[in-house]
Structure 1
Amino acid sequence: MKKILTVFFLACLSCVAMAQDKDNVIDEIVWVVGDDAILRSDVEARRLFMQNEGQRLDGDPYCAIPEQMAIQKLYLNQAKIDSIEASESQVIQQADQWINWAINQIGSREKLEEYYGKKVSQIRDEQKEQFREQQIVSEMQRNLIGEIKLTPSEIRKFYNQLAKDSLPTIPTTVEVQIITFEPKIPFDVTDAIKARLRDFTEQINSGKMEFSTLARLYSEDPASAPRGGEMGFMSKTDLVPEFANVAFNLSDPKRVSQVVQTEYGYHIIQLIEKRGNRINCRHILLRPKVSEKELTEATVRMDSLYTDLKADKFSFEEAATFVSYDKDTRNNKGLMVNQNHEGNNYGTPKFEMQELPQEVGKIVYDMQVGDISKPFTMITDKQKEVVAIVKLKSRTEQHKANLSDDFQAMKNLVEQRKREELLDEWIKKKQKSTYVRIAEGWRNCDFKYPGWVKE
């Protein structure tokens, strides 16, 4: 990703130079939509960005890209008329998150400024404008579409009209239950970590070492350590409660917090800046290491549980409820929930194989429905080493969509088609009432919406 961003930055500089060299024109207006202009440099920058990101366009990019930009301007112009505005707090949050991500990818604030040739504050302002426009366009589209209500008969009609070779393929999905056990960490190990963090605090407070230097050398948070422990601006809800309660009570950037324990490990925190209800701070994270002795003991205990489960002394669901350390699944009888499944904001118990944690996926791949695995070790999303047992609750093999098994998937497909139809109709109608001018040399295109060029 660092290479992509570097190439993109250099490419942007190249496109400006190209615009300056061609016919000695610094830039030129290639489209006008309403009162807004689309510049050659805007199109070129978008093309290079998409190219470097591996995004493909159907047809000529010098036709498709300005058309995409023109459509966005139609939405933005209508949003002005309808007084639709973006949520400033959400825009700021998105821009801050993007800046944090970009710094993490490139390595430092200084390198980010070097790549873009601008101060971080200027880059943030540009990102805010992009996110603001994206949010306004999305809200405008939601207003235009409204709530789509479909009856089961409409979905069946749509399904019956589709040619069999046009039916979407539903990939193999599984439902998995899990029980985890965390090896016990001896007190002497946690006491040693706390003592080490207190020693870091003394070095920082005495001026012997900078917090950022110690974070780069010793912090076990791979995301923030390369940035000297800097986490970027976050709200309370972005942080685990134990961390947030301490961080948001800090007031002196020169002081360091007491040692804080969270589910990720042990931290010390230093304030950088407060901005409204958001905070930017540094932290150093140290995690207790599980010894072979504790890991072996945990495995033996889970072996015993596995034997009892196979002997039907109690059900997997009962064991998950009363034994498992995994708080995210314990109250759900061990059933794992896929929070990242595309098109489902509330999570689903169904996972495609590549969506499962890697260690779980390897085990589940060869299991039959109802099988219970032997204990295995895995690293959780909190970076803790645990011993786990899984049960394959269900498996649905890859197949062509059908109404009995995939009604929700078909419903989502019909809703998406309806959205596209409504937006297509609106764009065609809006074209007729909007002033559009396309420069010579940019008109000879096979546009998706031919109404741009008016005779």
Structure 2
Amino acid sequence: MKFDRIHQALWICLLGFYSMNAQEKIKIDGVAAVVGENIILDSDIVKFKQELASRSDEVIDITDCEIMEDVMNQKLLAHHGVIDSVLVSEAEIAMGVERTIEHFKSQIGDVDKVVDLYGFDDLEDLRAELSRIQRENALIAKERENIVADVVVTPEEIRYFYQDLKEKGKLPNYGVEVELSQITIKAEPTEEAIQETIEKLEKIKDDVEDGFSMRLKAILYSEDPSVAQNGGMFTITRESGFVKEFKEAAFSIEAQEVSEPFKTQFGYHILQVEKIKGQQRDVRHVLIKPRIDEDKLAAAKSKLSSIRADIIANDISFEEAVETYSDDEATRLNKGTLVNTYTNDTKFELNKMDPDLFAKVDGLDIGELTAVSFEETREGEKFYKIILVKNKIEAHEADLSRDYVKFQQLALQKKKQETLEEWYVEKIKDTYVKLNGSTQDCNFKYNWIH
């Protein structure tokens, strides 16, 4: 659907950013609309169309009025997200900014070229704008999630949804699908490496307590990717989306105190509470990840290679090997079964699969194993993996009994969209909206003029 592509571009365009293809700033030529306290510029729509075109390989049939209404919907969500006191994690924002900058660098090259292409004064100016975009996008996403959080579908609704598609001749066709299971073996740091990390953090703690700058220490030593943007600083509440250990450390000490080293899924930290403001705390932290030696990586690979050989030789079943050896907590208790995060189903359609995963399993038959492969998470975990093709389903027209989970998700998606549309109708009535210029002549889906 065309609006799926619209939403792919919203994160960069609707909040006043600059097109990937633009070589200079687009002149701001007036206010197209105001929704609540949010302003939409005429140039926002121009920039949005440019970004949409740059991200599509084909011509998208969409009018300025359709784009305008979709942008107004997002601004409506953002406005009421503020009214509803939706919390947005500063860590989430910082990580999103760093991922975006890394993406731009991979596309364009040197970061100075990125700054110049987008027309900003310097990198900090770019980061500030990206932070604003990331914050508002997170606000929009969380408000939307809250609106549809309680929406569920009954088996009867799922059957009705399926029957309606069947009667209209609109049942989807699915390509070849596979069901997969995995075994992972992590490469863990040695106790010496962990102790070395803790001692380094303790030395930084001592220095800060002796008067050295925590901000400078974070810039020099922290392995948190957001440190270049914020010097390791976050504003945190008990409801923030930080991991439990981080919040516990932040709320266990007083202003200006420095915590003892503590562990999270990201590595080892110390933090300093710089300021307490009611239920909020401004904290600055240093993150260091214990080094993982090459011999530990080699040992993990060797162990998994041996397990793979035992499975092939029928000395142990794959399910037994998962239960006995796999380090992946998310799949170990489920016989290693992988879940498709896009569909919440256990089936992966080959022609829509992640390219890296496709390369591993393409050509394998039921019961065959992939070779041992290395992976690393964003959190820095390093591990080796093998994947079993548990089942393969040939291409077919969708069937309720065979594809029940898919129809459940489709029906749920439709009901959530209907709930969201009802929310738009009601909230537009209670929100200040002003349309200017040609926008007033649009034939919108919702009644924005009231």
State if a TM-score over 0.5 links the two structures: yes
Structure 1 residue 258 displacement after superposition: 1.6
Q: 2:346 aligns with which of 333, 344, 349?
A: 349
How far off its partner does 1:216 sit?
Answer: 2.5
Residues 12 and 45, structure 1, Cα contact 8 Å, conserved in 2: no
Map residues 134-283 of structure 1 onto 2, 5 A cutoff: 135=143, 139=147, 150-151=156-157, 154-163=160-169, 166-170=170-174, 172-208=176-212, 210-233=213-236, 235=238, 238-253=241-256, 255-274=257-276, 279-283=281-285
Q: Could you tell me how far 1:418 is from its partner in structure 2?
A: 6.6
CA distance in structure 2 between the aligned counterparts of 1:213 and 1:321, rounded to whole angstroms = 46
CA offset digits 1:193-244 (Å, max 9, x no partner): 2222222223333334x32233233322223454322345364673333333
AA partner of residue 93 (structure 1) = V
Q: Which residue number in structure 2 is paired with residue 323 of structure 1?
A: 325
In structure 2, what is the equivalent of residue 390 of structure 1?
A: 387
Answering whether residue 360 of structure 2 is matched by residue 363 of structure 1, we say yes
Separation of aligned partners in 1, 2:266 and 2:419: 47
Displacement, 1:64?
3.0
Tell me the secondary structure at the aligned position of residue 294 of structure 1: helix
User: CA distance change for structure 1 residues 336 and 89 in 2, over 3 Å: closer, same or farther?
Assistant: farther
Instruction: String of CA shifts for 1:364-412, please: whole Å, max 9, x gaps.
Output: 2343221123433221353221222222223345554333432343454
| Cα shift at 1:358 | 7.2
Q: Secondary structure at the match of 2:374?
A: strand
> Secondary structure in 1 aligned to 2:403?
helix
Rate the CA distance shift 1:247–1:349 in 2: closer, same or farther, 3 A: farther
**Structure 1 regions of 5+ residues with no counterpart?**
20-26, 80-84
Larger radius of gyration: 1
User: Quick one: percent identity of the two aligned structures?
Assistant: 23
For 1:318 and 1:388, locate their aligned partners in 2 and report how far apart those are by CA, in whole Å.
16
Alpha-carbon distance in 1 for matches of 2:418, 2:245 = 48
Change (3 A) 1:329 1:382: farther
Residue 229 to residue 404, structure 1, CA distance change in 2 (3 Å): same
TM-superposed CA distance for 1:98, in Å, is 4.6
Letter in 1 for 2:342: H
- Asked if 1 retains the 8 angstrom alpha-carbon contact of 2:18 and 2:47, the reply is no
On the 8 A contact 1:100/1:232 being kept in 2, the answer is no
Over residues 342-368 of structure 1, what are the superposed CA-to-partner deviations in whole Å (9 max), with x where a residue is unaligned? 6xxxx4434456997876554223432
CA distance in 1, matches of 2:404, 2:235: 43
- TM-aligned CA distance change 1:308 to 1:154, over 3 Å: same
Moved more, 265-274 or 43-52: 43-52
C-alpha contact 1:178 1:335 (8 A) present in aligned 2: yes
Q: Which moved more, 1:271-280 or 1:64-73?
A: 64-73
Q: Which residue of 1 aligns with 2:304?
A: 302
Q: 1:400 to 1:284 in 2, by over 3 A?
A: farther
Indicate how the Cα distance of structure 1 residues 259 and 414 shifts in structure 2: closer, same or farther if over 3 A, else same: closer
Residue 364 of structure 1 aligns to which amino acid in structure 2? V
- Corresponding residue for 2:406? 409
Q: Which runs of 5+ in 2 are unaligned?
A: 1-8, 102-110, 112-120
1:3-50, CA deviations, whole angstroms, 9 ceiling, x for partnerless residues? 977637x9998554x33xxxxxxx6xx789xxx8999x7251541452
Contact 1:236–1:244 under 8 Å retained in 2: no
1:91 aligns with 86
The answer as to whether partners of 2:152 and 2:412 remain within 8 angstroms in 1 is no
Pairwise CA RMSD of aligned residues?
Answer: 5.3
Separation in 1, partners of 2:48, 2:284: 34
What's the CA shift for 1:146?
Answer: 9.7
Cα distance in 2 between the residues matched to 1:234 and 1:37: 27
Evaluate the alpha carbon distance shift between residue 257 and residue 405 of structure 1 in structure 2; reply closer, same or farther with a 3 A threshold.
Answer: same
* Paired residues, number: 412
Paired residue secondary structure (1:284): strand
Is the 1:359–1:378 contact (alpha carbons within 8 Å) kept by the matching residues of 2? no
1:395 to 1:88, Cα distance in 2 relative to 1, 3 A: farther
Q: Give, as a single letter, the amino acid of the residue that structure 1 aligns with 2:250.
A: A
